[in-house]
Structure 1
C-alpha cells in the first residue's frame, strides 16, 4: 500500500483482519496452517481476499507459528525462510492497493515457560524476523504473548533491526492482568517505551472482557492502541471448539472499543469476514478518540498468609539435625496401620512425615486427606508431595488453594513417574507444568498471585522443597538443575536414596557451595529381591555392587536379610549425618518399624556426640 501507515493511524481507525486458522479449521483442515503458504497458496490468498472485501485495512501474513521451534514439530524447520517470505507475498497479492501487509510473529512460550529458554527464543525469533523482512512487509505484528518477558525480549530485537511499524499485542488470562500479575496498562507502557508503534491485546478474551480491560488503560503517550478480541468464549461441541458470537454483536462492540481509544480493531479466534464487515460498518468514518476517562483501577491489597508458628523444615535443617520420613499412603481403603505407623515414626524422633503423591503412578488414598488427619491427631504438619503428572493447571491451582486452606504448607514438588509404569498404563500423564514451572507457580502463590496474575485474596505460606536425583552419570548436570530450581523458588531438596558412602561424599562435594538445605535419602532394604527390583526397575535408583552382593548373601533368610538391610542403612545414615543436617528416610512397604529403628539410631548417635562435646567442655 503506497500511503504511509503511521500517517493513516494518526487520522483514522483501521480495521484489522480476522482469524486465519478458524477459516481453515472449519473447512476440515487440521495440520500446520503455515505450510499452506507453499502447499496451497491459493487457499490462503482467497481468505485474505475475503477479509479485504469485508473492509480490512491491515492483512497479517499467515506466519503466526512459522518459526523453527514450531515448524520442527511438523518436520518443516528447514523451510522457515520460504514459508515466511511466501506468507508476505500471498498477503501482498490479496491486499493490492487496498490494505497494509504486516508480517505476523506469534509467541513461542506456552505456560510451560521452562520448556524454552530466552536464548532459544531469541535464535528462533531472529530467523523468522529476518525471513519476513526480506519480503518487505509494511510492518510487523507480534501477537498472543502471555509472557511479558518474551515479548519485551523479541520487541527489543525487532526494533533494533528495523524501522518499520510494529504492533505488539499481549494476551490475558484474566481481565486487566498478565499472568505474572502485571497490570495491562503497565505492560503496554513498557512495550511503548521499547519502541512499539502500536500496543494492544489479542486472543483469549471476547469483546466484553477486552472492553473492561481497556477501561483501566489510559491512551498511550506516543503509541496507539490495538484490540483483536476472540469471537467469544469457546464452547466444545462434537470434538471442536465453537465460537458463538454473531457479527451484530461485534458491530456494537466496535463502537465501545473505539470509545476506549482503539485505533486498530480486528478479530482473533472464531472471527470471520462477517465479523470484520460488521465492525467496518460500525466504525465507518468515525474519527478516533483523543481523550478518554480512565476507570480507576481497584487496587486489591494482598494480605499476609496464614500464620504458622511451626519452624519451616528447611530452616530447621540449616542449624540442626532434621529427619523426614516418607510413609506411602495405602493403596486400599483402611488407614489403621498407616496411622499407627505415623504415630510410631513421630515417637521415634521424626521431625515430619512425608506423604508421596501416588508414587510409581499407582493410585493411593489422597495424601492431602491423610495429611490433614495426621495434623489433627498429632499437631504436626506433614510434608505433602505434589506431582506434575496427575493434575492439569486448573487442578494444580485448586489443589494448592485447598492445601493452603487446610494449613498444609510444607510441599515437595516432583515431576512424577509417567503413568505407563503404574497400575493404569493407559491413563494420561498430564504434565501441564514441569517441576520448575510448578515451583515458580507456588512461589507466585506466596506473593498472593494466581497463575493468571489475579490476586488470590492473600498470600500463601508454602515452604517449597524440590527433588534431587544424585543417581546420574553426570552429577554436575544434576546440580545445575538444582541451581535452576533454587532460582525458581526451591527452599530445600530431598534426594533419591543413595546406597554408597562414596556417593554420599560425592554429593556433599558437589553441593557444598549451596546454602539450600539437602535432605539425603536413605532407604532400608528388605530383601535381595527388593534390592534387585529397585536397582533394575525403579527409575532414579541405583544400588552399589557391594550392597547388592550383601543382600544376595542373605537371600534365603528373611530375618538375616532384614538385619543386613538395616546394617547397611545405619552405616549410610551415619555417614550422611556427618555431612548433612537433613536426613530423609524412605519407608519400604509400610515397614515403619525399620525407619523408626533407623531414626532412633541416628538420634542416639547425635545424643552421644552432644554428651562428648559437653564432657570435653
Structure 2
C-alpha cells in the first residue's frame, strides 16, 4: 500500500520539527547543511521520530533552496544538500516509514522581495532533485502566500503523480493573510491536484483546531495538521517552546474529530509530542462527516472622525492642485512650523504633507504635528509613512491610529536607510517594501488586516506613492510606478525635478496612465544647497546650467533665494500644462519660498482662466 491508501483507511501519524529541535540542541546555523557535515545527527532525529510512532517523516530540506542557502554562501550546493537529505531519511526509515520531500515557502511578510518567476525557478531546482531521489511524496509547507503555493503546486502536479501535501500557514484563526478563508483556500488547493491539504506552523493546537472547525471535509483530498508546540518565549536571546507533550495527547483527539487524517508537528515539537499523540490515537478510524462552523465576518463601512473632504485624487483630476511639504522640526518647539503652516493655508494649498524622519534624522512626530494642524488650523495633513522605522506590528498599529485620528491621506515610502542619518547605528527595519506597504493600506481599505482578519471597518485611505524620475532609465522607473498602481496606489508624488526637459520626459513616459502625478519642485536656497542635493542626496539630480546659476550668486544669500525661486517658477511653467498636480517642497522651514510659489501657481491659473474667458 501507499501513503494515500493508508490515509484513506485510517489516521496516519507524521513526525515533528527538525529545525527547532536542532536549535534546542545549541545548533544555530544552516540546518540543511548538516545533511553534509553532521549526517549522523539528522539520521538520529529521524530515527527518534520513527521510534515515537511516526509513520511519515520529512527530509531536512525545508530551506534547502537557492534563495535561502545563498544566505550562507551555499547556493551552489542545492543538489548536494537535497540529495543527501533524502538518502539520510531513507537510511533512517529502512522502509518502515514514508519519506516526504519537503519544500518550504519563500514569501512571508515582505511579499515583493521575491518575484513569482524567482519562486518558480528556485522551486523547480529543488523539486527535480527530490523527485530524482524517489521520495514517497512531497510536502509543501509553511506557505503564507496562497498565490505562491498555488503556483508551485501546479508545477509539482505537472511533474509527478506522487502524493502531494499542500500546507498553508495562518497568522490568525481561519483566514489567510490575503483575507481568503481557510476553507476556500484548501478547496482551491484540492482543485489544483493536492492529495492532502492542511495547515502547519505559526499556530498551536488550540488555534489550529479552531481554524479547522470552519473547514468541511474535502471531496477528493484529505486533511492534515502540523501544529506548533506553543507560542515561543524569548529568553537570553533564544526562542524557547515549552508545551507539555501531554497537551498534544489531548489535542490529537480533537484533530481527529475535525477530520484530520495526517497529523504531525511543527516548530517546538519533539519525539515526545509525537509519542503522546500516538498513545492518544489508539483508534485510528477517521471521521466520515463533521459539523462545520460557519464563519461570520462583520465589516462596517463608515467614515473616520471628521471625514468631510474629497480625496486628493478627485481634486487633482478636476482642477489644479497644490500640496506643500513642510518638514517637522528637528528640535522641540513648533512655533515657526505652525507659523509656516498658517501662511501656507492662507496661500490656499490643498494639503500639507509631512515627511517621516526624512534622511533618517529624528524629528517631531509627523502624526503629532499633522493632528495639530488639522485640529487647530483646519489644514489637511498628508502623512508620510516609511518602512524603515516600524516593523509590521508597528505599521499596522500606526495605520489604525492614523485612521482613528481622522487622517486618511498617506504617502507610502521605503525610507532612507538609517546609516545616512544622525544615528547610523540604529536598525533599519524594512519588514515591508513600499510595494508591500501600499498593498497593506489597500487591504485596510477592504477592511482586512495583514493577518487576514477583519478590521471591523473598511478604511478610506487615499494612498500616495513615491515616483523617482531622476534615473538613467526612465522606462524602468515607470515600470515600478505601474507595479505600485497594481498594489493599490491612487496617485504619485515625484522627487524634486530640476529640468524642464525631464518634466516633459516624465509626461511622455506616463501619459498612457490614468493615475494622477504631482510634480515635485523644491526651490534652491544657495549654491552649497545645490551642490549638496546634486552630489549627496539619493534621487536628486541638478543640471549643469542650474548649478551654474546658483554658483553665480554664491556670496549673496538674498540673490541666491531669488534665483532659487526663479528656477522653481520656470519648472512650474514647464509642468503647468502637462500636470494638474504641483508638489512644493519647503527647504529648511523657509516657508515664505513655498508660499510665493503657491501664489504663483494660483496667479498663473487665474491668468489662464481669464484668457479662456475672453477668448
Counterpart of 1:172 (choices 170, 176, 179) is 170
Partner of 1:469: 468
Offset, 1:305:
4.2
Matches within 5 A, 1:125-274: 125-274=123-272
Partner of 1:46: 44
Matches within 5 A, 1:475-514: 475-514=474-513
Counterpart of 2:293 (choices 288, 292, 295) is 295
Q: Indicate the RMSD between aligned Cα atoms, in angstroms.
A: 1.1
Partner of 1:523: 522
Q: Which whole-Å CA distance do the structure 1 matches of 2:516 and 2:291 have between them?
A: 53
Q: Which whole-Å CA distance do the structure 2 matches of 1:301 and 1:326 have between them?
A: 34
Q: Which whole-Å CA distance do the structure 2 matches of 1:303 and 1:325 have between them?
A: 30
Moved over 6 A (4+): none
SS in 2 for 1:493: strand
Q: Which whole-Å CA distance do the structure 2 matches of 1:37 and 1:563 have between them?
A: 69
Partner of 2:88: 90
Cα-to-partner distance string for 1:549-580 (whole Å, 9 max, x where unaligned)? 11111011111111111111111111111211
Q: Is 2:537 the counterpart of 1:538?
A: yes
Q: Is 2:317 the counterpart of 1:312?
A: no
Offset, 1:514:
1.2
Cα-to-partner distance string for 1:290-337 (whole Å, 9 max, x where unaligned)? 121222222324434438331211221122110010000111111111
Q: Which whole-Å CA distance do the structure 2 matches of 1:497 and 1:254 have between them?
A: 61
Partner of 2:111: 113
Q: Which whole-Å CA distance do the structure 2 matches of 1:16 and 1:364 have between them?
A: 54
The answer to whether the 8 Å contact 1:143/1:170 transfers is: yes
Q: Which whole-Å CA distance do the structure 2 matches of 1:174 and 1:358 have between them?
A: 32
Q: Which whole-Å CA distance do the structure 1 matches of 2:301 and 2:204 have between them?
A: 31
Q: Which whole-Å CA distance do the structure 1 matches of 2:88 and 2:225 have between them?
A: 24
Partner of 1:610: 609
TM-score after normalising by structure 1: 0.98
SS in 1 for 2:223: strand
Please, which moves more after superposition, 537-546 or 441-450? Answer: 537-546
The answer to whether the 8 Å contact 1:302/1:455 transfers is: no
Aligned residues: 614
Q: Is 2:361 the counterpart of 1:362?
A: yes
The answer to whether the 8 Å contact 2:297/2:454 transfers is: no
Matches within 5 A, 1:592-611: 592-611=591-610
The answer to whether the 8 Å contact 2:299/2:447 transfers is: no
Q: Which whole-Å CA distance do the structure 1 matches of 2:599 and 2:373 have between them?
A: 21
Offset, 1:417:
0.5
Q: Which whole-Å CA distance do the structure 2 matches of 1:163 and 1:442 have between them?
A: 41
Partner of 1:435: 434
Q: Which whole-Å CA distance do the structure 2 matches of 1:253 and 1:415 have between them?
A: 43
Q: Which whole-Å CA distance do the structure 2 matches of 1:354 and 1:136 have between them?
A: 60
SS in 1 for 2:539: coil
The answer to whether the 8 Å contact 2:388/2:414 transfers is: yes
The answer to whether the 8 Å contact 1:184/1:213 transfers is: yes
Cα-to-partner distance string for 1:32-88 (whole Å, 9 max, x where unaligned)? 111111222111111100101111010100001111111122222222122112111
Q: Which whole-Å CA distance do the structure 1 matches of 2:300 and 2:139 have between them?
A: 35
Q: Which whole-Å CA distance do the structure 2 matches of 1:191 and 1:271 have between them?
A: 26
Please, which moves more after superposition, 81-90 or 298-307? Answer: 298-307
Q: Which whole-Å CA distance do the structure 1 matches of 2:24 and 2:293 have between them?
A: 39
The answer to whether the 8 Å contact 2:299/2:458 transfers is: no
Partner of 2:15: 17
Cα-to-partner distance string for 1:508-554 (whole Å, 9 max, x where unaligned)? 11111111111001111111111111111111111111111111110
Q: Closer, same or farther in 2 for the Cα pair 1:251/1:409, shift >3 Å? A: same
SS in 1 for 2:32: helix
Partner of 2:320: 321
Partner of 1:577: 576
SS in 1 for 2:458: coil
Matches within 5 A, 1:411-426: 411-426=410-425
Offset, 1:596:
0.2
Q: Which whole-Å CA distance do the structure 2 matches of 1:314 and 1:552 have between them?
A: 38
Partner of 2:274: 276
Q: Is 2:54 the counterpart of 1:62?
A: no
Please, which moves more after superposition, 277-286 or 295-304? Answer: 295-304
Partner of 2:401: 402
SS in 2 for 1:286: coil
Q: Which whole-Å CA distance do the structure 1 matches of 2:299 and 2:397 have between them?
A: 21
Q: Which whole-Å CA distance do the structure 2 matches of 1:480 and 1:235 have between them?
A: 43
SS in 2 for 1:338: helix
Q: Which whole-Å CA distance do the structure 1 matches of 2:239 and 2:505 have between them?
A: 53
Partner of 1:452: 451
The answer to whether the 8 Å contact 1:305/1:458 transfers is: no
Partner of 1:352: 351
Partner of 2:31: 33
The answer to whether the 8 Å contact 2:301/2:459 transfers is: no
Partner of 2:556: 557
Offset, 1:377:
2.0
Q: Which whole-Å CA distance do the structure 1 matches of 2:189 and 2:303 have between them?
A: 33
TM-score after normalising by structure 2: 0.98
Q: Which whole-Å CA distance do the structure 1 matches of 2:140 and 2:300 have between them?
A: 32
